[in-house]
Amino acid sequence: MIGERLTTAFFARDTVTVARELLGCVLVHEGVAARIVETEAYTEDDPACHAYGNGLRRLQGKSPTGRSAILYGPPGVAYVYLNYGIHWLFNVVTEPEGQAGAVLIRAVEPVKGEAIINKRRPQARPADRTNGPGKLTLALGINQSHNGRFLEDGGLYIAKSTAKWSGEVVTSARIGISKAQERPWRFFVANNQFVSPGRPS
């Protein structure tokens, strides 16, 4: 089930390509493993991306600042940030170092450690435990302490799946953003109950 761990080289590529290829891979942390079924791509020239402002700064010869500076660093590190003051959202930094980009993990399907997930989200129905970006971080125990950590050699990582897996990949606009809504950079597995219920506006 849990196969070879993805290395930094996997993430040091085009963000949209990484977002698509992450579907079907397995996110692992502390005895819990879950198959990725929904992702979104964010790039430096994308107004919806946190690094967009830093992209403008860089054109003036200044170095990136703030929380999104990490998006310019080496690929394959976790970018975890607090959203709406409530939820931790988990991303993976992409593109070669010096170029910004990230893939948001929006939904996963538990394959191992479901008892732990059940303990962390006791009141939620099984299908509602990991079908959203804020829910999966809670279910897997991902938080601010993972921000900036390398997935290649850390306790939190993504692995290839050894199980036969054939899902139809569907594309749509991204969820919950107000800018660049025309970019079809959300990828998810068709007819999977763990995909988030959100729909592009």
Partner DNA sequence: AGAATGATCCTCT
Partner DNA sequence: GAGGATCATTCTC
What whole-number distance in Å separates Cα of residue 105 and Cα of residue 87?
13
State in angstroms the smallest separation of the CB of 118 from DNA.
13
What whole-number distance in Å separates Cα of residue 55 and Cα of residue 95?
14
Choose between 26 and 103: whose C-beta lies nearer to DNA.
103
Q: Which among 21-29, 44-52, 112-120, 187-195 is the span making contact with DNA, rule CB under 7 A?
A: 44-52
**Residue bearing tokens 């003036």:** 60
42 in contact with DNA (CB under 7 A): yes
Choose between 23 and 102: whose C-beta lies nearer to DNA.
102
**Residue bearing tokens 């950590």:** 149
SS3 (DSSP) at 41: strand
What whole-number distance in Å separates Cα of residue 187 and Cα of residue 165?
16
Per rule CB under 7 A, count of chain residues that contact DNA: 40
Residues that bind DNA (CB under 7 A): 40, 42, 48-50, 53-54, 65-68, 79, 81-87, 89, 91, 102, 104, 121, 123-124, 128, 132-136, 174-179, 196, 198
